Chain A
Amino acid sequence: MNKRAVGAICAALVFAAGVMTAVALADPGNGQGVNNGDTDPTASCQPSYGGDPCIHNGNSAPGTAKGHGNCEDDRGKGNNGNDNGNDRLPCAATTAQTTTTVPTTVHTTTTVPTTSTVHTTTTVPGATTAPGATTTTVATTTTTAVAGAATTSVATTTTPAATTTAPLVPPAAKPKPSTTQVSGASTPPASPKTSGVLAAHSPSPTQLAFTP
């Protein structure tokens, strides 16, 4: 009886130890694995944690069509994979980037700084310039240069900030209705025959009597 009990206990301990080992080996850890906050199942996208797919973090360099948001990859939440170490142009915190894709073959990247200085000039070999394609409307002066192999044109568009607030103008005073006063009716001159007759003092009407 004691031997059976000891054997059963030993078997249970062995089973429990095996289960714990298996669990320990199977745990990928915090933030690991493609299923943890990562919607990109590709193998090149290394595990990250806590948010956006790794290939969408901060890729804005020429040739990498994807990406939005972070100027530099290493500022993003992703801490591994393709997001780290991409050699793109550093961008200032006050610089707004706009990528404009012309339906033909013009691919113009226009950097619009808050000042009037041209920040980025992109050369597009063999590209044709589409008038108005690179028009950028900002509050300040914007200069966009597109240098092509065949033609070189500099399109400069300056659009002043639109004034949406109309100047306050006091409303004009409403003109008073023109009423013709009956002159003399209230104070008719006295004639010799009617001397001593008091004048009528009723106010003059503004309309003739309503007598339908």
Chain B
Amino acid sequence: MTGLAAVLAAINIAAATVAHAPGREHAGLAAGRLRLGARVAMLSIPRLHFDGAAHQGIAAPVLALGPGHYPSTALPGQPGTTAFAGHRVTHTHPFLHINDLRNGDVITVTTQWGRFRYRVYRERIVAVTNVSVLSDVGYQQLVLTACHPPHTALKRYVVFARRVGRVQAAR
């Protein structure tokens, strides 16, 4: 484990002190209050054969660990859009085959306050500056972004998924 990872692990420990209150759904917690590098959730994307942790922030050191949560977006389970970014071919390349996701695929996000399921309903290739994909659309939405085409950073591949089902208790 690198030094940076050790620091982030310490941050995670601090983040773990956030009150874990099943059934209360992260009451008192906001994305903007999470420290950068803190673990936010566990992502499960069967189509991509990915199960791993997502951390707070989209800076390079954070993304080097895996998917990162856009701090300006909502936390999983909150109203609005929850967005994660992941590398395509570098580092842990969690979203290497993001373009393989199809409508109807299920993505599960597990947090300390519950488990949330999302179903993919749209894919887009957008410009780097098109941050409108992070906008609130009036319902709970999950957005995954990755550079596109692979090995480049010319554009961004964006997957949209809408929350489905009821919240389940985190195991």
Which residue of the partner chain, among B30, B68, B87, contacts A200 with CB atoms under 8 Å? Answer: B30
Using an 8 Å CB-CB cutoff, how does the interface string of A142-165 with B read, 1 for contact, 0 for none? 000000000000000000000000
B28 contacts A198, CB within 8 Å? yes
Given A197-B27, A198-B28, residue A204 in contact with residue B72 (CB < 8 A): yes
Q: What is the bound-complex CA distance between A183 and B73, given in angstroms?
A: 10
Given A194-B79, A209-B85, A212-B90, residue A200 in contact with residue B32 (CB < 8 A): yes
B81 contacts A212, CB within 8 Å? no
Given A208-B145, A211-B145, A211-B146, residue A200 in contact with residue B136 (CB < 8 A): no
Residues of B within 8 A of A199 (CB): 30, 32
B25 contacts A200, CB within 8 Å? no
A180 contacts B26, CB within 8 Å? no
B134 contacts A182, CB within 8 Å? yes
B78 sits at the interface (CB 8 A): yes
Residues of B within 8 A of A198 (CB): 28-30, 32-33
Closest chain-A Cβ to B56's Cβ sits at a distance in Å of 9
A159-189 residues at the B interface, CB under 8 angstroms? 179-186, 188-189
A182 contacts B131, CB within 8 Å? yes
The size class of the interface chain B forms with chain A is: 35 or more
Which residue of the partner chain, among A184, A202, A204, A212, contacts B89 with CB atoms under 8 Å? Answer: A212
Closest chain-B Cβ to A161's Cβ sits at a distance in Å of 50
A210 sits at the interface (CB 8 A): yes
Residues of B within 8 A of A85 (CB): none
A211 contacts B87, CB within 8 Å? yes
Using an 8 Å CB-CB cutoff, how does the interface string of B12-50 with A read, 1 for contact, 0 for none? 000000000000011111111100000000000000000
Which 8 A-B pairs rank lowest in CB-CB distance, beginning with the nearest?
A209-B85, A202-B71, A188-B80, A184-B136, A200-B31, A201-B32, A198-B30, A200-B32
Residues of B within 8 A of A (CB): 25-33, 58, 60, 63, 68, 70-75, 77-81, 85-90, 95, 126, 128-136, 145-147, 151-153, 156, 158, 167
Q: List 25 A-B contacts (CB under 8 A).
A: A182-B72, A182-B73, A182-B134, A184-B80, A185-B80, A185-B81, A194-B79, A196-B27, A197-B28, A197-B78, A198-B29, A199-B30, A200-B31, A200-B32, A200-B71, A204-B131, A205-B58, A205-B70, A208-B85, A208-B130, A208-B131, A209-B70, A212-B88, A212-B89, A212-B147
Residues of A within 8 A of B (CB): 179-186, 188-191, 193-194, 196-212
Known: A211-B146, A212-B87. 17 other contacts (CB 8 A): A180-B130, A182-B72, A182-B73, A184-B136, A198-B28, A198-B32, A201-B32, A202-B71, A204-B131, A208-B85, A208-B128, A208-B134, A209-B145, A210-B60, A211-B85, A211-B153, A212-B153
